[in-house]
Every structure is written in C-alpha cells, then in structure tokens.
Amino acid sequence: MTHPLIAREGWLVLLAAFAAALIATWLVGWWSIPFWIWALFALQFFRDPARVPPADADAVIAPADGRIVVVEKVRDEYLDREALKISVFMNVFNVHSNKSPVDGEIKGRWYTPGSFVNADLDKASTENERNALHIATARGDVTCVQIAGLIARRILCYVRIGDNLARGQRYGFIRFGSRVDVYLPATARAEVSIGQKVTGGRTILARW
C-alpha cells in the first residue's frame, strides 16, 4: 500500500501548527519563533519515507525506527509459548510509522488499556497501553505489539483478523515516543544487539 511522504495521521496537526505560526508571525513578528519551532518539529515527527525491505526470505525486519532495548528469551503471553523477544524503542525524533516484520495473515488482535510509563523500561511491555497482532507465516508465528509511551496517547492500527500483510507494509502508527515488541519462535536467531539503531522496514532483526 502506498502512502505519502508525510503520514496522514499528521495532516491536521501540521495544518494547525503552520497556520498558528503564520498568524503569530503576522501578529507579533519575531515572537512567533516558538510557533515555527513546534511546526518544524511536527513536520519531522510525521515524516514517513518509503522503505524497500530486503529480499532475503529468511529475514524478519524491524517494524519501526529506533533503538534495540531488549533481545532475550521470554514467555509470549499472547500465544502462550517460549519466544525470542526483540524490542524497538522509538524516541520523538524517530519515524513512528509501524511496518509488518514478516509476510503473513492476521490471526489474532488484542487491545489492552494501560499506563503510560517510559517505553524504554521493561515494564512498559506489561503495564502500558498496547495493541498486539498475531501474524501467522509459513515459517512460524509472530506476535507484534505496539506499545504507547510516556508521551504517546494514541495507538493506531489499520488491520483486522483475516487481513494479509507483506514485509515492510505499513499497518499502524503511534503518536510520539513509544515502543514495538516482536515475539518470534524461540528457534529464531537474533541479528541485532541491545543499543543498536534500526530502520523500520529495512533492518534485519532476526532470521528463522
């Protein structure tokens, strides 16, 4: 699915921000600078560049831009299994468009209301507002979880049970700092390490 360079989720915000900056410039001149700073921040936040995923069929790709904060074996509470968990933390300067890490069919979707603690913390996975997808693939099951952060107050997910996703396909958006957890079969091999920066739709997180 194609989409514009600026995420549609930000169009109204940008319209309001630049309108306010222009009006402030007309009314107060140089005192309008804070309005322009906010407008430019909003513009960079809602950017959504097109990405071409790697062709490697064994690759699981990053669902978001950001920094790796977790790579460990855990219990996947959604599918009740042992899994390899890889978490990507997004700060307010990252692209916040979320992309499918694999090719597959949506078999389950769970929304859980919750808190808004710093998404960089481990407890964000269990305490924060989140939206989880079960994606069934020919190679195994994947759980992909959008998690709201300290500032984020809106998780957007545009797919339903029965929909099919392609690797790198855009399926959602989280407004402001947040996190995405990916749970893979325990036999998957991580290709990233904690602290590494990744690019959504492009960086290889793991291999089957």
Residues carrying an active site annotation: 178
Instruction: Please report, as a single letter, which amino acid is at residue 43.
Output: L
User: What are the residues whose beta carbons fall under 8 Å from the beta carbon of 81, sequence distance 6 or more?
Assistant: 75, 141, 185, 186
Q: For residue 138, what is the DSSP state?
A: S
Of residues 135, 139, 130, 146, the one with CA closest to residue 107:
135
* 86 contacts 71 by C-beta, under 8 angstroms: yes
* 204 contacts 188 by C-beta, under 8 angstroms: no
* 71 contacts 194 by C-beta, under 8 angstroms: yes
Instruction: Please report, as a single letter, which amino acid is at residue 161.
Output: I
Secondary structure (DSSP) of 73-101: EEEETTTTEEEEEEEEEE-TTS--EEE-S
